Amino acid sequence: MIALLGRDLKLSFRAGGGFGLALAFFLIVTVMIPFSVGPQSSLLSTIAPGVLWLGALLACLLSLDRLLALDWEDGSLDLLATAPLPLEMVVSVKALAHWITTGLPLVMAAPLLGVLLHLPGPGYLWLVISLLVGTPALSVIGTFGAALTVGLKRGGLLMSLLVLPLYVPTLIFGAEVARRGALGMELATPLLMLGGITAASIALMPFASAAVLRVNLR
C-alpha cells in the first residue's frame, strides 16, 4: 500500500501537472474576484469564505480527470484489480494521493490568498480547519467520479457534471464554517455536519468506486 501511494505521488508530480495547475487555478480565481466585484474591502471580506471555498473545490475538480486515466491507459489498472490488495484499498490510496498533492497545498495556500480578499482575522484559523476537514471528502468523491468515467474519451466534462452535485453539501457547510468563524458566531453545527459528510464519504465511497471500476474492467 505504501509503495502504491509513493507511485501515485510520483505520477501526480510528473504527469498532468495537477499539483501546480490546481494552485495556479486557485490563485487566478482569487485574484480575479476583486476585479469583477470591485475593490471594496467590506464586500470582499463578506464573500471571502465562500469564494475561497469555491476556488478550492474547483481546483480539486480540475485535477481529477487524470486520477485513474493514466493507469487505464498503460494497463496498470487491470493489474491493480487482480493484485492481492483489495480494490477498495486501491481507490482509497489514490484518493489519499490526490488529497496530498492537491487538497493539502490548497489548504496551505488559502490563508495567503485570504489576505487578497480581506478575510477577517478570526476567519483564517477556521478557514484552514474547514478545508482540512472538508477537502478529503472532495478527493474521495472525486475518485468515485473518476471511476465512473474511466476509459471514456473526453470524460472530463461528464465527470464534472456527475461530481459537482455531490460536492454541494461539502461546499455549503465548509463555507458556512469559514463564514461563521470569521464573524465570531457559533459554528459547532456546520462543523459537525462537514465532519459527518467527510466521514461518510471516506467510509462509503471507496466501495462504490471499486464496484464501478469492476464493472468498467469487465
What local confidence, expressed as pLDDT, does residue 12 receive?
67
Residues with Cβ within 8 Å of 146's Cβ and at least 6 positions away in sequence, in order, are 64, 65, 67, 68, 69, 159, 209
Q: pLDDT value at position 13? A: 65
Residue showing cell 510520483: 10
Residues 6+ apart with CB under 8 A from 121: none
Output the CA–CA distances (angstroms, integers) from residue 101 to 26, 55, 131, 183, in the order listed.
14, 16, 14, 31
For the chain, what is the mean pLDDT? 85
**Does pLDDT of 44 surpass 70?**
yes
**Who has greater pLDDT, 188 or 73?**
188
Q: What is the pLDDT of residue 147?
A: 86
C-alpha angle with apex 26: 124 to 125, nearest 5 degrees?
10
Where residue 22 falls among pLDDT bands split at 50, 70, 90? Answer: confident
Is the pLDDT confidence value at 124 over 80? yes
Q: What pLDDT score does 88 carry? A: 86
Contact 149, 162 (CB under 8 A): yes
The answer to whether 183 and 57 are in contact (CB under 8 A) is no
Instruction: Specify the 3-state DSSP secondary structure of 168.
Output: helix
> Using 50, 70 and 90 to split pLDDT, how confident is the model at 116?
confident
Write the DSSP symbol of residue 99. I
For residue 184, what pLDDT is reported? 86
Quick one: cell of 131?
478545508
pTM: 0.89
| pLDDT higher than threshold 90 for residue 17 | no
> Please, what is the angle between helix 188-217 and helix 123-149, to 10°?
20
Task: List pLDDT tens digits, range 54-103.
Answer: 999 998 888 787 777 777 766 677 677 777 778 888 888 888 888 988 88
